[in-house]
Structure 1
Amino acid sequence: MKARIIDKVVRVLHTNHSHPEKRRILESKERLNFACPYCGDSTDSVRKKRGNLYWNNLQYHCYNCSAHESLDVFLKDHNENFEGEERINVINFIKENRKNFSLGETLEFHLFEMANNLSLTFDEIALGFNVYPINSLTYRAYPYLKSRLLHHKTEKFGYDPRRKELYVFNLTPKGKIVGFQVRALDDNSGPKYKTWNIERIYDRLKKPLKVSEEELDSLNKISMIFGILTTDLSRQFTVFEGPIDSFFMSNTIGLTGVKKQILDFDDIPTVRYFFDNDIEGKSKMIQKLKRGNTVFMWDKFLKDFRIPSKKVKDLNDLVKYEYKHRTGCLNELDKYFTNNHLDLIFI
């Protein structure tokens, strides 16, 4: 079967690449390595091969564009799929050996130490960015944080007064910075959110990153998962749709948007999801619940505490509502998580 798979991949490469070197496959015991047909791989060197098909689970991953598909989908995307019994065998093998591209597989834990070592101090970040610490006198930024009841967590933020941008830092246990998200506080200043992973930050600071391409791919993911370096994954932790919500609960992780989920935590038994109270967030939690994961029941919670759904989109909104109305609802949050698929109607 390996020979037939290799033949299919060769056909894909010949269709998508014109240079002989980009059509060449490197074969090892663990994987096939070749130039990615999705992104074309490197534009600087025809020798770079960042596409990988792993034999142990027939999953494809590109360390350039982060494309990730099963062999069946990979071949289907390039009109070279198997047919009949051969395809059935491939699909069955994938199902039997399936591993989600989850935290344990994508981010080898030795890279956590590397991320900590590569993290930067606030002063180092300030060398390349017009960012300043926030205190009670910081115009615009401090009132904004206070309006969201985050003014006691100023160490997690910075402010660029010229661009009117709030920096939200992804911190290490020692308070150093491994990545950040920038939020425009001025409606006329372009995109509302911009993200800076470790690679972009080092590039701006003109600092060399002496890591392999595969390590860099994982390090960039780490730097965009807020709280990943301070969260204990061996005990219950909560995944939020954004970093701001994650600051209101302990042992949490904040993603950079439900549409652009960087990793799938579903394989980790201690995970639970608390996405936004909107169509996208609820749809994602319904998918998670169907897979047996633990999610938050927004509808049941809001109904039980008689909170108007339109008033609360996320945990930050809920904290602000509670600050004003004092219902005691925040003490009861844990009771409204479920992994029972019959609770779909309460999401």
Structure 2
Amino acid sequence: MEIKNKIENLIAEILKKQFSSIPQKQTIKYASNGNLYIACTFCGDSKTNLNKKRCCIYLDTLSYYCFNCSASGNLIYFFKHFGIDSYDLLDLEKINLEITNKPKQTILDIFEKSDPTIIQELKSILIPYNEVIKLYDLIDPIGDAKLEILKRNLIINDKLKSSKNGNKLYILNTIKIENELYISYINIKNINSKFKYYILNLEQIYKDIRKEFEPIKHLYEKYNRSLNIFNYLNLNLDKQFFVFEGELDSLLFEQLTNIQSIALSGASKELSNNLINAIYFYDADATGLKKSIQTLKENKNIFLFSKFCKDVFNLNTKQFKKLDFTDLILYLINKQNMSLDEIKNKINTNINNYISNNQLDVLFI
């Protein structure tokens, strides 16, 4: 009870600061299952209904999730983000450590515990995995040099498929609910086209299977931010995670490091700004440089990709027009004749040394 009261007091302090001129948004709503609901301190919640409280605080897992903007994460990071002193969080840190050592809890697990109807709503709008495989006649990846290397060296899981002629690579955003796989969107890369990729969202897949989308449109709009981020609903909120720009980088990184990751792939900047316990991994190019500088200015963690390449692999990223994580792995295999075991060992030994939120590290970007 003492910890619960402390959390409530800290939240009340944040709400008072964030919504100083809006008394309705400073109050906390208490759910019968013990969860707390507050106006989201990231998106501000509803602009028309000041009494809306769509950010849920889960006391049993010390985590939070906003059903409006999909901001989510560990409560410790939440408090630190909004200026609560670390000294005031010592007892919460201890409890958080105990929770972290338990089996992981994904966002989906939290949904199920807080409101089982959410799971049923998601099942009612998502497309079963096998139905998608059959619809687009998908097989294991073939036909492209990149894919051949990945296929030879990595476990190709359910997220990566190919068209039968090998001209298209399908990256599937899979979500496992009650031991069944579902699809929320597909990123298709045209191997022989000047266009890099295109997205098939849920609405387009519904059209392709000739299923009416209008009856479930309101539910899709309710969950679309979460559904359109690669691997997002599978995140364990107790730990930090890496954020990539592309799905293939995310998939490859997770298989090599066993560290959880997601890919924004065009997701809204609003949501990107709300991922406060994330480590951002940007490509080594002009756009990645700008994003890295901006993220450091916001005191968020980035991965110092260029410095990592130089220090660990003696590789100057400036010699490339663009270099992403997948490009790096392929270069090391093809040009430096490194085995995948060597690469994995070097990455996993050094990766934690190149995470930073220090603005002075802009010199190493």
TM-score tier, shorter chain, comes to 0.5 to 0.7
Instruction: State the shift of 1:133 in Å.
Output: 1.9
Cα distance in 1 for residues equivalent to 2:277 and 2:211: 37
Instruction: State the shift of 1:345 in Å.
Output: 1.4
Match of 1:236 among 235, 240, 243: 240
Instruction: State the shift of 1:265 in Å.
Output: 3.6
Larger RCO, structure (CA 8 Å, separation 6 or more): 2
Cα distance in 1 for residues equivalent to 2:246 and 2:215: 28
Instruction: State the shift of 1:336 in Å.
Output: 0.3
- Over residues 300-345 of structure 1, what are the superposed CA-to-partner deviations in whole Å (9 max), with x where a residue is unaligned? 2223232121357111122234443346531211210101112111
The alignment status of 1:342 with 2:360, answered yes or no, reads yes
The alignment status of 1:103 with 2:74, answered yes or no, reads no
The alignment status of 1:269 with 2:276, answered yes or no, reads yes
Distance 1:196 1:214, change over 3 A: same
For structure 2, the residue ranges without an aligned partner over 5 or more in a row are 1-23, 26-45, 52-65, 73-106
The alignment status of 1:314 with 2:320, answered yes or no, reads no
Cα distance in 2 for residues equivalent to 1:251 and 1:117: 27
Q: Does the Cα contact within 8 Å between 2:185 and 2:228 map onto a contact in 1? A: yes
**TM-score normalised by structure 2 residue count:** 0.58
Cα distance in 2 for residues equivalent to 1:163 and 1:263: 36
Match of 1:182 among 188, 201, 221: 188
More helix by share: 2
Q: Does the Cα contact within 8 Å between 1:171 and 1:229 map onto a contact in 2? A: no
Task: Name the structure 2 match of 1:159.
Answer: 162
SS in 1 for 2:181: coil
Distance 1:236 1:210, change over 3 A: same
- Over residues 193-238 of structure 1, what are the superposed CA-to-partner deviations in whole Å (9 max), with x where a residue is unaligned? 1101112211221223476655322433333211012111331111
SS in 2 for 1:170: strand
Q: Map 1:112-131 onto structure 2 (within 5 A).
A: 113=119, 114-129=121-136, 131=137
Cα distance in 2 for residues equivalent to 1:112 and 1:335: 39
Distance 1:278 1:267, change over 3 A: same
Match of 2:265 among 256, 260, 270: 256
**What is the letter of the counterpart of residue 177 of structure 1?**
I
Distance 1:299 1:132, change over 3 A: closer
Q: Does the Cα contact within 8 Å between 1:322 and 1:330 map onto a contact in 2? A: no
For structure 1, the residue ranges without an aligned partner over 5 or more in a row are 1-28, 31-51, 58-98
Q: Does the Cα contact within 8 Å between 2:71 and 2:271 map onto a contact in 1? A: no
Q: Map 1:15-34 onto structure 2 (within 5 A).
A: none
Deviates more, 1:170-179 or 1:336-345: 170-179
**TM-score normalised by structure 1 residue count:** 0.60
Distance 1:151 1:134, change over 3 A: farther
Task: Name the structure 2 match of 1:87.
Answer: none
Q: Alignment identity in percent?
A: 24
Instruction: State the shift of 1:104 in Å.
Output: 2.7
Deviates more, 1:191-200 or 1:150-159: 150-159
SS in 2 for 1:176: strand
Q: Map 1:137-156 onto structure 2 (within 5 A).
A: 138=142, 140=143, 144-148=146-150, 152-156=155-159
- Over residues 277-299 of structure 1, what are the superposed CA-to-partner deviations in whole Å (9 max), with x where a residue is unaligned? 11112211211111111001123
Distance 1:304 1:231, change over 3 A: same
**What is the letter of the counterpart of residue 226 of structure 2?**
I
Distance 1:126 1:218, change over 3 A: same
**What is the letter of the counterpart of residue 358 of structure 2?**
N
Deviates more, 1:239-248 or 1:219-228: 219-228
Instruction: State the shift of 1:151 in Å.
Output: 5.2
Cα distance in 2 for residues equivalent to 1:238 and 1:112: 26
SS in 2 for 1:222: helix
Count how many residue pairs are aligned between Structure 1 and Structure 2: 246
Cα distance in 2 for residues equivalent to 1:178 and 1:255: 14
Task: Name the structure 2 match of 1:7.
Answer: none
Cα distance in 1 for residues equivalent to 2:315 and 2:204: 42
